[in-house]
């Protein structure tokens, strides 16, 4: 039941979402996360709702299983403590604006002198280089700048933000990938690396066919609502009671769909012969599809088409996920106990590894500085007297 990263220790300076999401993934795979927080206020996301008995459910959802040490990084003594801890860890993760760690005296060039095997992962809005590197950034800023908002929403409608913080989350995921690659390389070279991930870069990397479409045609991609730009039928259609998504990703599926719905006449129409034909005539196709789907409810179509091998789904609201048998089978909603709050449901670990039954850390999200004494004793051998002195000086 050993997890693959149980031997890995992370000194985590991150806050809010991109960085904590990255270190959450590492924690899911067994890494020990030592989260450094500001004394008194801690991670900014502790103040983000929704709240349960005064605690942020947002913070709990991405920080459970981590250990918190409260350090005043404006204090030279605290910086010395950080440098001592760096000798004991494998990874430093941070998501400050570029230059902040250097101003504190704990940038990569300084820390790698202390620990040449250190992997230093930095996640920021625009990365460590380029004319925008020092700009502040939030998720919606990079969604806008990265082009993803320009292809999201209803055709001809106002700009729409993607419904989850995809700028932060992709940066966290790419940060994790970079760290794992650096760990593999370190096993060969014996040396660490700096991992530089930008939220804006992540948005460009997931634009998928929007970049290739512009390159190939010179046309600027625009929002298409629920419609796929290069496959048809591949969209949400109105049923008797709501909407259903149908995705016929090739001509064979289209032919099968037409036969299942007793609309073989569509197969004989030149406008719908091939996928490029259907994409070209997608508005006319939608008229026929709307007529077909209006004859039954979403549940009826979902059952019938899936049973017969046509990719199909209802559009679930979040509450439906809590009763979905597939979600339950994959343990993608799990319950954790948070002191002072009780049981909280959070997202499970999407990375399944053979031989592991326990998917995520079930330890609670930490209180600010909850593990300060434990960390100082365990890693640096501090005595009670030394710790009391640090508290007296408001360093921890």
Q: Return the active site residues.
A: 168
Q: Are 168 and 199 in contact (CB under 8 A)?
A: yes
Helices (H), the chain: 18-28, 57-63, 76-86, 100-104, 108-114, 139-145, 166-189, 199-205, 209-217, 251-260, 275-280, 282-293, 298-307, 318-321, 325-329, 372-380, 384-392
Please tell me the distance from the alpha carbon of residue 257 to that of residue 243, in angstroms, as a whole number: 17
Please tell me the distance from the alpha carbon of residue 74 to that of residue 203, in angstroms, as a whole number: 33
- Other Cβ atoms less than 10 A from the Cβ of 214: the count is 14
Q: What stretch of H or E contains 236?
A: strand 234-238
| Cα angle 151, 134, 41; round to 5 | 95
> Three-state SS for 247?
strand
User: Which tokens go with 376?
Assistant: 């100082």
User: Which tokens go with 93?
Assistant: 């993760």
Is the bond preceding 50 in cis, omega lying within 30 degrees of 0? yes
Please tell me the distance from the alpha carbon of residue 289 to that of residue 246, in angstroms, as a whole number: 10
Please tell me the distance from the alpha carbon of residue 125 to that of residue 98, in angstroms, as a whole number: 9
Q: Are 365 and 64 in contact (CB under 8 A)?
A: yes
Closest to 53 (Cα-Cα) out of 344, 355, 368, 363: 344
Taking the CA of residue 8 as centre, how many other CA atoms within 13 Å lie in the half-sphere pointing to its CB?
28
Q: Are 384 and 90 in contact (CB under 8 A)?
A: no
Please give, one letter per residue, the 3-state secondary structure of 296-343.
Answer: CCHHHHHHHHHHCCCCEEECCCHHHHCCCHHHHHCCCEEEEEECCCEE
Q: Are 86 and 113 in contact (CB under 8 A)?
A: no
Q: 59 phi and psi, to 5 degrees?
A: -65, -45
């Amino acid at each position: 039941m050993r997890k693959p990263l149980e031997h890995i220790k992370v000194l985590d300076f991150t806050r809010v979402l991109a960085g904590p999401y990255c270190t959450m993934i590492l924690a899911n795979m067994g890494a020990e996360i030592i989260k450094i927080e500001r004394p008194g206020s801690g991670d900014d996301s502790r103040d983000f709702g929704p709240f349960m008995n005064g605690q942020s459910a947002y913070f709990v959802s991405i920080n459970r299983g981590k250990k918190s040490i409260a350090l005043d990084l404006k204090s030279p003594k605290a910086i010395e403590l950080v440098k001592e801890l760096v000798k004991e860890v494998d990874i430093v993760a941070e998501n400050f604006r570029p230059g902040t760690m250097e101003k504190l005296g704990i940038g990569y060039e300084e820390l790698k002198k202390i620990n040449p095997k250190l992997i230093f992962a930095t996640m920021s809005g625009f990365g460590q280089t380029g004319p925008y590197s020092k700009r502040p950034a939030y998720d919606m800023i990079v969604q806008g700048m990265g082009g993803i908002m320009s292809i999201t929403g209803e055709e001809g409608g106002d700009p729409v933000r993607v419904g989850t913080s995809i700028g932060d989350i992709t940066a966290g995921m790419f940060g994790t990938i970079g760290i794992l690659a650096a760990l593999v390389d370190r096993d060969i070279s014996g040396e660490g690396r700096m991992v530089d991930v930008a939220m804006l870069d992540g948005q460009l990397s997931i634009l998928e066919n929007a970049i290739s479409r512009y390159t190939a045609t010179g046309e600027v991609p625009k929002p298409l609502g629920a419609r796929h730009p290069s496959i048809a039928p591949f969209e949400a259609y109105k049923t008797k009671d709501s909407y259903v998504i149908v995705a016929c990703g090739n001509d064979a599926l289209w032919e099968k769909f037409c036969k299942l719905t007793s609309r073989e006449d569509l197969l004989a129409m030149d406008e719908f012969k091939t996928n490029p034909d259907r994409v070209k005539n997608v508005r006319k196709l939608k008229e026929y599809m709307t007529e077909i789907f209006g004859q039954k409810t979403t549940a009826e179509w979902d059952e019938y088409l899936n049973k017969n091998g046509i990719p199909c789904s209802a559009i679930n609201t979040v509450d439906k996920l809590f009763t979905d048998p597939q979600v339950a089978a994959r343990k993608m909603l799990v319950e954790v106990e948070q002191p002072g709050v009780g049981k909280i449901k959070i997202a499970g670990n999407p990375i399944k590894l053979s031989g592991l039954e326990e998917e995520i850390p079930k330890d609670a999200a930490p209180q600010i500085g909850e593990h300060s004494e434990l960390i100082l004793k365990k890693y640096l051998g501090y005595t009670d007297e030394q710790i009391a002195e640090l508290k007296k000086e408001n360093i921890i």
